[in-house]
Structure 1
Amino acid sequence: MADRDASVETIRRELTTFARRARAVAARVHPELSLVSFTLLAHLEDADGCRATDLAAYYLLDKSTVSRQIATLEHLGYVVRRTDPTDHRVQVLHLTASGTDVLHGVTASRRALLHRRLADWDAADLEQFATYLTRYNAAPGDLG
């Protein structure tokens, strides 16, 4: 059991380091676009738009956090609200052309950074790492 506990502690520590580095990279790549904002933009693109409450529920974020992030993204011209044609009480968030451009640019920059960081990993290691990350992220529950 001690080995398992030590491994879990190492994973906790390394995930914390990973998250800190990801935030730092996001700040360097696009200073106006936080890691949370980038994630929300990517979700909006993948979902072809959604409500702010859907974002909050999906990412387990407080509605006020999402509201602040969306307000910033709207101010930057990356997101626009449109009335849902099936329910005029609902506002759906969509990427603007500028939002799509910045998302694709940041994604390309982050992908290039990952390629450089993983350049000396062989294909089998990359595949195994990708499999483990996918498995970890697909597990039910949260860290709270």
Structure 2
Amino acid sequence: MHDEKLLAQVEKEFTTTLLRARQSIRERAKAIHPELQAPGYRILSFLIHNDAQQQGALAEHLELDKATISRMVKQLESMGLITRTTDPSDGRAQLVSITVKAHEAWKASGNSLRTRLHNRLSDWDEADVQRFADLLHKMNEDREDLR
């Protein structure tokens, strides 16, 4: 068992990291579109990494009900960030895809984030950066613990 003070310190630093990550997501969302909120950002993120998806798959992955996803998809579509097309494998369903405009904005906002991270770590020793990456990987190996 670890010392309670040590665990409290880890919890404090982890909470600070999470709060900063949430702020970073809000900033990145605004850079993509001034009206984009965090839930819409999550949809874009999923589509960037998984290509076109049916709304049901989005609802399942994001653990939101289908009505909420439907509302969010309509909003993102009105912002010009996503499009809907008929799914060729199931004519009753629609595929949701990210637009070229959204993809370019995503890429630009990611470049900005990467630049900030690189600047933040630029004066770290390479061994420290590797150790940090290894520890983050170790912590993220079992994501079920963090749900």
- What is the TM-score with the length of structure 2 in the denominator? 0.77
Q: 2:113 aligned with 1:110, yes or no?
A: yes
Between Structure 1 and Structure 2, how many residues are aligned?
Answer: 142
Tell me the equivalent position of 1:12.
Answer: 11
Partner of 2:64: 62
Aligned residue number for residue 144 of structure 2: 141
Q: Which runs of 5+ in 2 are unaligned?
A: none
**Residue 116 of structure 2 aligns to which amino acid in structure 1?**
L
1:83 aligns with 2:120: no
Flag the 1:2–1:45 CA change in 2: closer, same or farther, 3 A: closer
Give me the identity figure in percent. Answer: 33
d(CA) in 2 for partners of 1:93, 1:139 = 29
Q: Check if 1:98 corresponds to 2:92.
A: no
Change (3 A) 1:109 1:128: same
Which structure 1 segments of 5+ residues have no match? none
Distance, in Å, in 2 between the alignment partners of 1:8 and 1:58 is: 31
Indicate conservation of the 8 Å contact 1:27/1:34, yes or no.
yes
1:38 to 38, 41, 51: 41
CA distance in 2, matches of 1:118, 1:91: 43
TM-aligned CA distance change 1:140 to 1:117, over 3 Å: closer
Residue 121 of structure 1 is aligned with which of 117, 120, 124? 124
Other structure's SS at 1:92 match: strand
Deviation of 1:110 after TM superposition, in Å, equals 1.0
CA contact 1:81–1:94 (8 Å) conserved in 2: yes
Cα distance in 1 for partners of 2:130, 2:68 equals: 34
For the 8 Å contact 1:56–1:62, the answer to whether it is kept is yes
